[in-house]
Structure 1
Amino acid sequence: MAESKGAEQFGPSPELSVGELLDLLSACGRDAVVRLAINPDFPMSHRTGDVVGARDESGRPVVFIREPEETEQFGPLPPDVAVALTWHQPTDPPPRRRRGTRPSGGQ
């Protein structure tokens, strides 16, 4: 399951079937909470709501996962999840320097 530390992306295609989603979810713990990752430019984590079956414009069956009426945003997506989703590039923290020192060339 994709978790905050060492997240990895699941799913090979942009449109998953219910069977593919069930296969992917079967690799996750049954007690794991499901959240939606929204907006690659400013990735946030959201709660999921009802599941509704319908048909698209060509008549194919489609399943929609609704955002709850009382929308709850859990804050920014963990950086490693955004990297696993290929929304962000991996980054390293800036190098730290000892307190009281100046970078070379400073006055």
Structure 2
Amino acid sequence: MDLEPEITVGDVLDALSTCDREARVRMAVNPFFPMAHLFGGVIESRAENGESVVYFAEPKEAVQLGPLPPDVAVKLTWQPPNEAPARRRRGTTRPSGDQ
């Protein structure tokens, strides 16, 4: 199984450098049932091989905010973009005869 390359702190900082500094931070979780969660903190630790690893955590009192907005799931490629089905013109019902 090929895993996507892990991103680095530098990658995150580069991505965040274009964001509004006052924007709230949330986590997108579970691509098969995309939900939004509150962001609780950042913890740095060491992996078994000694590499530095940074963890993004939920708050102690985990809060699930609800479904992830569809546009976010599409941008994460968790869901394909969906277009609204074509609408057909509906016929009208009119009384028949001289009415």
Range into which the TM-score falls when normalised by the shorter chain = 0.7 to 0.9
Separation of aligned partners in 2, 1:73 and 1:49: 12
Q: Which has the larger radius of gyration?
A: 2
What is the CA RMSD across the aligned residues, in angstroms?
1.7
Where do 4+ consecutive residues of structure 1 move more than 2 Å? 94-101
**1:39-54 alignment runs, 5 A limit:** 39-54=30-45
Count residues in correspondence.
Answer: 89
Q: Percent identity?
A: 57
Separation of aligned partners in 2, 1:76 and 1:25: 23
Structure 1's unaligned 5+ residue stretches are: 1-12, 102-107
Structure 2's unaligned 5+ residue stretches are: 93-99
* TM-score relative to the length of structure 2: 0.79
* TM-score relative to the length of structure 1: 0.74
Structure with higher RCO (Cα < 8 A, 6+ apart): 1
